[in-house]
Amino acid sequence: MLTAIVIGFATTGFVIELALRSRHDNGSDQVDARPDTQAPR
Amino acid sequence: MSWIAAHLPILPVLLPSLTAVLLLLIGDHGGDDAAHGHRKLLWARRIALGSVLLGLVIAAELVREAAGGEILVYLLGEWPAPYGIAIVVDRLGALMLLLSSLVALPVLWYATGGWDAHGRYFHALFQFQLMGLNGAFVTGDLFNLFVFFEVLLIASYALMLHGLGGQRLRVGLHYMVLNLAASALFLVGVSLLYAQTGTLNLADLGLRVPRIEGPDAAVAQAAAWLLLVVFGFKAALLPLSLWLPATYAAACAPVAALFAIMTQVGVYAIWRVHGVIFGADAGASAYAVEPLLLPLALGTSVLGVLGALAAHTLERLVAWLTVASVGTVLVALSLFNAAAWSAGLYYMANSTLVIAGLFLLAELVAAQRGDAADRLVPASPVSQPTLLGVLMLLAAASAAGLPPLPGFIGKLMLLQASTDHSWQVTIWSTVLAVGFLTLIGLARAGSIMFWHVRTDLPAGAPSGASPKLIGATLLLLATTVAMSVFAAPIQRYTAAAEQLTDRAAYARADARVRAARPPTARPYDGTAGAPR
């Protein structure tokens, strides 16, 4: 179970980083199908 | 040589992981696009290709040994069962190992044609992904299955984003968050099962689950359902398949082609856990998920083919075909008889290769169509219409199951195996309709791209694709043709799938290695438990 905890921490860290990068590159944090082009950068 | 033979079962896991570490130590070319001829990249390519080639040889040797019917068991560090890690290679595991090597080699070769220079550490991540895949196929323990799932998922998160871009990041976030949720459910399911049986060793589970009765059986079945959600998510089973097309279509071609085998990990896990442990002879929990699995599998293949018909880009079409083929394999699985399983294994091997080939082909075609890329609209003609057209025709015919290609053989075996099933009419009509609609979808795509061209536009690319890219795609499709030529021996091999249901033999093989060691695993009673 320790393995699972370590994996859980690591992947959570990665998903936060990914979310930040996605927000930066797409200019918004909207992730559903509609392209949100009007969002301010 | 005997030393290598003794350690052969662990090599498919060890080799990619050591290669990945070596590739990390070599370092990276820096990630800029101008790095195509970089010295480090060239070395990374040589090492990675050599390693995958060696992996293919090892997998072939394991298949040869497994074909004899023997189940190879390897205990890491000779630790006894409850503490140590058991590696078990039987026919199914060896077949999956060979399949993953057969997909990985051409895909990696294709990636060395340019994609590996568009981001950092492609080769190291590719090897980690292979390590996770191979580990999942050979592990003899449910918790280690979870660990290898995570290894391959973590590598796949990074590979999926390879090349970056807004769309990949957006879809990648979906993919990752959904997978995190699925992993949490996996742990819950594993814990429930451990609470009921006191073991997570697949061989022990096979022996202990049948002994669970009464209200405890309901808990074990709940664990089975939870695990079905997890594996069904990976395999894109019906209500959980909507993430797949967007993800696979957004990933770059070699990564999407590699993901074709990742989908099969989910199918493999369903086979191991639900097909065998919760299959026939499982006492009160026998066929725990069977009533829902068959309708869901049929629905998956229908949804997949409808999605393929509605797709507006070629890559999305191929991604939906992945869903359709997984549905067909799961139909075979949920019939729970040896003939259907043999058909399912054969069809799975073929469809994985075809779909990986189609992903590569889709990018080759898209690269020659100018601005239209892979959108299914009339555009400028491709510069190599004959070559790409013939490849497309070959892949389409095999995906749709036209004779004499292996897709046809697999489906025929499946139809034969379902003749005395109570759902026979539904299964026959669904499988045949899905094949027909697949053909229509691919024919539509092919005719738009190769015949319905706009001559008023200039040709997309002045030169054709490089021989390396063509060669890699050709190699993948040639493997599927070879499956048709060697159908008889492969079928003999998969026909021995009933070895799977012999849970006593699986357990005996495991037990022989730990002979003379007293069993120390005991059911969890709430007062004592070994931390894992």
ipTM of predicted assembly, 2 dp? 0.83
Note the pLDDT tens digit of each residue in B425-463: 999 999 999 999 999 999 988 888 888 877 776 665 556
pLDDT at B70: 78
Does the distance separating the beta carbons of B177 and A15 come in below 8 Å? Answer: yes
DSSP 8-state secondary structure symbol assigned to residue B195: H
Mean pLDDT of all residues in chain B? Answer: 85
Contact B114, B168 (CB under 8 A): no
Calculate what percentage of chain B has a pLDDT beyond 70: 91
Q: Shortest Cα distance from A22 to chain B (angstroms)?
A: 5
When CB atoms are compared, the residue of B170, B184, B531 closest to A26 is B170
Distance, in Å, from the CA atom of B393 to the CA atom of B510, rounded to the nearest integer, reads 46
How large is the average pLDDT for residues B148-157? 92
Could you give the 3-state DSSP secondary structure of residue B201?
Answer: strand
- How many contacts, defined by CB atoms under 8 Å, are there between A and B? 55
| CA-derived radius of gyration, chain A | 14
Does the distance separating the beta carbons of A10 and B177 come in below 8 Å? Answer: no
Residue of A nearest to B180 (CA): A11
How deeply is B516 buried, as exposed, middle or buried, from its count of CB atoms within 10 A (0-12, 13-18, 19+)? exposed
Q: Which two tokens stand for residue B386?
A: 């004959």
Note the pLDDT tens digit of each residue in B322-332: 999 999 999 99
Calculate what percentage of chain B has a pLDDT beyond 90: 38
pLDDT at B353: 93
pLDDT at A41: 43
pLDDT at A3: 83
How large is the average pLDDT for residues B380-406? 83
pLDDT band at B518 (very low <50, low <70, confident <90, very high): very low
B429: number of Cβ within 10 Å: 11
Predicted confidence (pLDDT) at residue B111 exceeds the cutoff of 50? yes
Any B CB within 8 A of A19 CB: yes
How large is the average pLDDT for residues B297-320? 92
Any A CB within 8 A of B312 CB: no
Chain A hits for B169, Cβ within 8 Å = 18, 21-22, 25-26
Residue of A nearest to B146 (CA): A4
For residue B404, is the peptide bond before it cis, meaning its omega torsion is within 30 degrees of 0? yes
Mutation pick from B169, B179, B188, B194 vs chain A, by most beta carbons of A within 10 Å, is B169
How large is the average pLDDT for residues B12-23? 94
pLDDT at B207: 84
Chain A hits for B147, Cβ within 8 Å = 3, 7
Predicted confidence (pLDDT) at residue A33 exceeds the cutoff of 70? no
Q: Shortest Cα distance from B416 to chain A (angstroms)?
A: 42
Tokens 């950092």 locate to B120
Query: Where is pLDDT greater, at B431 or B505?
Result: B431
Distance, in Å, from the CA atom of B163 to the CA atom of B455, rounded to the nearest integer, reads 32
Distance, in Å, from the CA atom of B324 to the CA atom of A13, rounded to the nearest integer, reads 34
Predicted confidence (pLDDT) at residue B408 exceeds the cutoff of 50? yes
Does the distance separating the beta carbons of B165 and A22 come in below 8 Å? Answer: no
DSSP result, B303-338: HHHHHHHH-SBHHHHHHHHHHHHHHHHHHHHHT-SH
Q: Shortest Cα distance from A40 to chain B (angstroms)?
A: 15
pLDDT at B526: 55
Any A CB within 8 A of B185 CB: no
Distance, in Å, from the CA atom of B10 to the CA atom of B324, rounded to the nearest integer, reads 33
pLDDT at B197: 87
Q: Which two tokens stand for residue B402?
A: 């036209």
pLDDT at B519: 47
Does the distance separating the beta carbons of A10 and B170 come in below 8 Å? Answer: no
Contact B54, B134 (CB under 8 A): no
- Within 80-139 of B, beta carbons closer than 8 Å to A belong to none
pLDDT at B388: 86
Mutation pick from B157, B168, B173 vs chain A, by most beta carbons of A within 10 Å, is B173
How large is the average pLDDT for residues B315-342? 91
Any A CB within 8 A of B181 CB: no
Distance, in Å, from the CA atom of B506 to the CA atom of B73, rounded to the nearest integer, reads 9
Note the pLDDT tens digit of each residue in B120-140: 889 999 999 999 999 999 998
Predicted confidence (pLDDT) at residue B303 exceeds the cutoff of 50? yes
Note the pLDDT tens digit of each residue in B92-107: 899 999 999 999 999 9
Chain A hits for B183, Cβ within 8 Å = 7-8, 11
Predicted confidence (pLDDT) at residue B529 exceeds the cutoff of 50? no
* Element spanning B74, H or E: strand B72-75
How large is the average pLDDT for residues A9-22? 90
pLDDT at B110: 93
Q: Shortest Cα distance from B208 to chain A (angstroms)?
A: 22
Distance, in Å, from the CA atom of B422 to the CA atom of B82, rounded to the nearest integer, reads 42
pLDDT at B516: 39
Does the distance separating the beta carbons of A18 and B157 come in below 8 Å? Answer: yes
Predicted confidence (pLDDT) at residue B522 exceeds the cutoff of 80? no
* Element spanning B86, H or E: strand B86-89
pLDDT at B318: 93
